[in-house]
Chain A
């Protein structure tokens, strides 16, 4: 298995699901590696464990992806398993899932909501409309092509709408990033694309997936 030629960018099998495919994230910057954290303390790691297991997401569903976000909170996929409850006010939310199309008229509000959230905060861009305007990027005059023009995005989840499993895959990738959050350490701001361009899209792979595909 190990010596079969791997397509570029795929991960060796057995890596934890949350880690980003090498192709999508830039080379690790020097200050970012585990043992080079200057203020690495056990308590910081424990605080990160707390943050990872209790990400309250902002109730912010605009379009079709909003319905998939509700389904992800519903009985079958249940984001509450991961400790994520929807909060109505940005003050009590750590994570903003921008689910759906953001038009120019709405863009300013997205920025205000992000500013009202309390640090440490993360942004997940769910769906192609939020990533890059999606099906409306070419012919629509009123749709903002990508919310990263207004707010810093941590995780991009492609799909129109992405399945709840893809959303949870994105959340697991975000949890991997939150696990590395150090209060005084340097935050990695590089955006990460779930199921990036070179890895096959989607998080649940048909049985006859190519050998190199992520498990």
Chain B
């Protein structure tokens, strides 16, 4: 089990401002040999942070909103948006390019251009999958009247959407999209991600309080209660991974999940131990609550609170809240993928990708991580259009009486497993059994590590089911079982 030494400065990164390999190389390249000054560092930081955001995350969040309406339509057996294609932007492009022609001539050129077979098929497919729908929504929101309610707290009301966007985009700095495609290689990446996503709580409360309407106040209160209490399970789940991997640097965590051979899959943290698998589910579920997705969307529950904290928002401010929500969904999927499902590594055979030249392996890694993010994204949408919504007390009871105890149980199990089975940890000095006492059971330890918790879990579940009682015969008849 060889572990590729993914040091930060170890493999000869040039001396730079110390923000990490990418920024350092960029700054050094910009400075042209001598020590990069403040300007070069600043440009490097902006390019290293803004480009991944604009290229990778922002369009994905935008396409996500279209995908959401299409997936919802598919689940509900209807058509979904298919009338907004790319004809509007194409017409605008024609007008811009042929600015020197009078309008009717521009229209004729546009008709002839869109009559070309290739362009016609492209426009038709774009229209059928509703590619232009989000563009149309965005453009409409641009043109909407900008209303700040009379009894609203102006500053707080205007600041809330921007803070929501910050809370959603900032944690992406530490998410590694490739070997060295990470904006901020910080040794405490995991902790930074959780802390940065805490800003959204502030933004929602500001929106709730700032709008000055009872409905949004209620939405804001619920949002605060839910998000703060679900920070605990998220934190504990990340703590479990840190305990297992021994480091908080996301880049190193991904590195540890590397295995030679065809099935790099086996190296993933989620498959190392049942407790880690449990923590992965808890992190995903608590992540759902972080971005207020059904079944946890009481903060903006349409049917009760009219529209929760964004009742008074209209136009682009409301659009920003929607964009922040979808980006947060991507963030949760990215964190789950990075911590538990091998980050940017491919499930089948990672070594041939690493062998590729840098300008090819990095994009492939980025695409792999994006695919894992899309998988999490699709699962969240599927859940949204299937499940009803929890009530406030049920959300709190679920968090404090079941998720947090489960997390603590999982941490306990992980610690026990580490002590006796000597899990695959990178040499972290603290709290290890002395080497001679460490039995290297290998595969047997692995299997026992899986068998014992699953047996215990089965017993507990069977007892709970017996206590809960059978489904009523009338219900069984309704769902097609024997009456």
- Tell me if B307 is interfacial: C-beta within 8 Å of chain A: yes
Decide: A78 and B84 in contact? CB cutoff 8 A.
no
Decide: B80 and A81 in contact? CB cutoff 8 A.
yes
Q: Which of B76, B91, B133, B312 is within 8 Å of A83, CB to CB?
A: B133
- Tell me if B103 is interfacial: C-beta within 8 Å of chain A: yes
Nearest to B136 among chain A residues (CB) is: A53
Which one, B143-151, B225-233, B433-441, is touching chain A?
Answer: B143-151
Which one, B17-25, B116-124, B313-321, B336-344, is touching chain A?
Answer: B313-321
The B54-112 residues at the A interface (CB cut-off 8 A) are: 69, 73, 76-84, 87-89, 91-92, 95-96, 103
The residue in A54, A82, A85, A88 that gathers the most chain B C-beta atoms within 10 A of its C-beta is: A54
Question: What 1/0 flags go to A25-55 for Cβ under 8 Å of B?
Answer: 0000000000100001011011101111110
- Tell me if B140 is interfacial: C-beta within 8 Å of chain A: yes
Decide: A47 and B78 in contact? CB cutoff 8 A.
no
Nearest CB in chain A: distance from B91 CB, A: 7
Nearest CB in chain A: distance from B361 CB, A: 40
Complex formed: what's the CA distance from A46 to B94 in Å?
11
Nearest to A59 among chain B residues (CB) is: B302
Chain B residues within 8 Å of A119, by CB: 144-145
Decide: B83 and A82 in contact? CB cutoff 8 A.
yes
- Tell me if A91 is interfacial: C-beta within 8 Å of chain B: yes
Chain B residues within 8 Å of A49, by CB: 87-88, 91, 136, 139
Decide: A53 and B132 in contact? CB cutoff 8 A.
yes
Decide: A47 and B139 in contact? CB cutoff 8 A.
yes
Chain B residues within 8 Å of A118, by CB: 144-145, 147, 314-315
Complex formed: what's the CA distance from A94 to B91 in Å?
24
Nearest to B149 among chain A residues (CB) is: A91
Complex formed: what's the CA distance from A183 to B139 in Å?
13
Decide: A83 and B307 in contact? CB cutoff 8 A.
no
- Tell me if A200 is interfacial: C-beta within 8 Å of chain B: no
Complex formed: what's the CA distance from A45 to B83 in Å?
17
- Tell me if A89 is interfacial: C-beta within 8 Å of chain B: yes
Chain A residues within 8 Å of B133, by CB: 53-54, 83
- Tell me if B417 is interfacial: C-beta within 8 Å of chain A: no
Nearest CB in chain B: distance from A59 CB, A: 8
Query: What's the count of A-B pairs with C-beta under 8 Å?
Result: 113
Decide: A81 and B82 in contact? CB cutoff 8 A.
yes
Decide: B77 and A92 in contact? CB cutoff 8 A.
no
Chain B residues within 8 Å of A75, by CB: 76-78
Chain B residues within 8 Å of A89, by CB: 306-307, 311-312
Q: Which of A53, A81, A183 is within 8 Å of B88, CB to CB?
A: A53
| With A49-B139, A92-B318 as contacts: A83 and B92 at CB distance below 8 Å | no
Taking residues whose C-beta sits less than 8 angstroms from the other chain, chain B's interface range is: 35 or more
Complex formed: what's the CA distance from A94 to B145 in Å?
10
Q: Which of A45, A82, A83, A88 is within 8 Å of B137, CB to CB?
A: A83
Nearest to B303 among chain A residues (CB) is: A88
Complex formed: what's the CA distance from A50 to B91 in Å?
12
Chain B residues within 8 Å of A50, by CB: 88, 135-140, 142-143
- Tell me if A135 is interfacial: C-beta within 8 Å of chain B: no
Question: What 1/0 flags go to A129-141 for Cβ under 8 Å of B?
Answer: 0000000000000
Chain B residues within 8 Å of A35, by CB: 103
Decide: A46 and B78 in contact? CB cutoff 8 A.
no
Q: Which of A46, A82, A183 is within 8 Å of B91, CB to CB?
A: A46
Chain B residues within 8 Å of A12, by CB: none
- Tell me if A108 is interfacial: C-beta within 8 Å of chain B: no
Question: What 1/0 flags go to A65-79 for Cβ under 8 Å of B?
Answer: 000000000111010
Nearest CB in chain A: distance from B24 CB, A: 42
Nearest CB in chain B: distance from A139 CB, A: 36
Complex formed: what's the CA distance from A64 to B230 in Å?
43
Complex formed: what's the CA distance from A91 to B144 in Å?
10
Decide: A46 and B302 in contact? CB cutoff 8 A.
no
Chain A residues within 8 Å of B135, by CB: 50
Decide: A51 and B92 in contact? CB cutoff 8 A.
no
The residue in B76, B137, B144 that gathers the most chain A C-beta atoms within 10 A of its C-beta is: B144
- Tell me if A16 is interfacial: C-beta within 8 Å of chain B: no
Decide: B92 and A120 in contact? CB cutoff 8 A.
no
| With A49-B136, A49-B139 as contacts: A43 and B92 at CB distance below 8 Å | yes
Chain B residues within 8 Å of A52, by CB: 136
| With A81-B82, A83-B81, A89-B311 as contacts: A42 and B95 at CB distance below 8 Å | yes
Decide: A46 and B83 in contact? CB cutoff 8 A.
no
| With A92-B318, A118-B144 as contacts: A83 and B139 at CB distance below 8 Å | no
Chain A residues within 8 Å of B147, by CB: 91, 118
Chain B residues within 8 Å of A45, by CB: 91-92, 95
Nearest CB in chain A: distance from B389 CB, A: 14
Nearest CB in chain B: distance from A131 CB, A: 27
Decide: A51 and B143 in contact? CB cutoff 8 A.
yes
Q: Which of A42, A78, A83, A88 is within 8 Å of B78, CB to CB?
A: A78
Q: Which of A88, A91, A120 is within 8 Å of B313, CB to CB?
A: A91
Chain A residues within 8 Å of B80, by CB: 78, 80-81
26 interchain pairs, CB-CB under 8 A: A40-B103, A42-B92, A43-B92, A46-B89, A49-B88, A49-B136, A51-B140, A51-B143, A53-B83, A53-B136, A75-B76, A75-B78, A76-B78, A78-B73, A78-B78, A83-B84, A88-B307, A91-B147, A91-B314, A92-B307, A92-B314, A94-B140, A118-B145, A118-B147, A120-B144, A120-B145
Chain A interface residues (CB < 8 Å from chain B): 35, 40, 42-43, 45-47, 49-54, 74-76, 78, 80-83, 85, 87-89, 91-92, 94, 118-120, 183
- Counting from the closest, the 6 A-B pairs by CB-CB distance are A50-B139, A49-B88, A42-B95, A53-B136, A53-B84, A91-B314
15 further A-B pairs in the complex, CB-CB below 8 A; given A35-B103, A46-B89 = A43-B92, A50-B137, A50-B140, A50-B143, A51-B136, A51-B143, A80-B69, A80-B73, A83-B83, A83-B136, A87-B307, A91-B147, A92-B307, A118-B147, A120-B145
